Structure 1
Amino acid sequence: MNPEIVVFEPGDFSFIKSVAEKAIYCDMYKAVEKLGIWEELKNEPFSGGFLFGTTDIPNRIMANLENPDAHSGASLALCIRDMQYIAIHGWPMWVLMYDLSQ
Structure 2
Amino acid sequence: MSGLAHVSCVFSLLPLQSAAAEIHDYMVLRLIYLGTSCGTQKLERIDAGRKVWRRFRVECRDVASYPHGIIVTCTDPADDRSCKIETPPAAFKSLELLRPNGG
TM-score by length of 1: 0.28
Structure 2 length as normaliser, TM-score?
0.27
Pair member with larger Rg: 2
Higher RCO, 1 vs 2 (CA within 8 Å, ≥6 residues apart): 1
Higher strand share: 2
